[in-house]
Amino acid sequence: MVSWTHWHNEPLLIGTLVLAAWAYALAVGPWRFRLAPGAVFPRRDAWRYYGGLFVFYLAVGSPLDQIGERYLFSAHMLQHMIIVNLAAPLVLTGMPAWLLDRLIDRPIVRPLLRGLTAPVVAAVVYALCLSLWHVPAAYDAALRDKLLHVVQHLMFFAVAVVLWWPLVSPSRAVPRRSPGVQILYVVGMGGLQFPLVAFLNFSREALYPTYEFAPRLLNLTPREDQVLGGTIMGIGGMFIALGLISWCFYCWHRQSEREETSAPPSPPRP
């Protein structure tokens, strides 16, 4: 039976999160005076960063992880959606521009990041990573091997940061894209994810043996659970995309207004 009160406290998970929190506190605290003299403490950024770490822990350390790992594909899909669409953008936007630019301002890192976060590349890398991990053999292998499962989650988080970079990057060295490009990017992302959603929803049988033979926590067959997981990805992704497109149009409108306000007046006609 599932222990609904079980929370993971493995040294690898807790230690990594504590280390990430401690390093950030040093960087924006005492080290700030050397890294960015004159910069004020980034209070809002810190709330987002630590919120992202907390959300990541909720995804992989709460009972949701055990349910998704052993019983329900739909719970596992919800876990991945939380990592990709909440934890990753919160951590990314929680990095002050001056700190992020200091981290990426390296001869190899900066051009590599520019290439990876180009909209077409970022969308393809994310879709490819997501799709390959949902190949039944790879997916079930991750469920059976704890270390491989950790690698899977870290890869999802890493490619999610790449995915969100063109949309919310605070960096000046590798900035976010213009609103028009962002709209095309969001539409393209949805198109690239559609084959995986279709693969999950229109398969005639359950694809993952772990869930096929798992005890049923809900009154759902393994295939119905799989369809629910695919629906969470598809419908959830659609609402996120609509929200992002609306925000991009709003930002585009604000940008146009600022450009019109700052433009010099036209000379009078003779």
pLDDT value at position 214? 86
* pLDDT, position 257: 72
Of 100, 93, 158, 170, whose CA–CA distance to 125 is shortest? 158
Torsion of CA 70, 74, 75, 80, to 10 degrees: 110
In angstroms, how far apart are the furthest CA atoms of the chain? 86
Please give the model's pTM, rounded to 2 decimal places. Answer: 0.90
Whole-Å CA distances, 115 to 18, 99, 112, 143, 212: 31, 20, 5, 32, 40
CA distance linking residue 40 with residue 37, whole number of Å: 9
* Residue ranges for the chain with pLDDT beneath 50: 1-2
| 165 closest CA partner among 116, 225, 227 | 116
pLDDT at residue 2 in the model: 47
- Contact, 153 vs 139, CB < 8 A? no
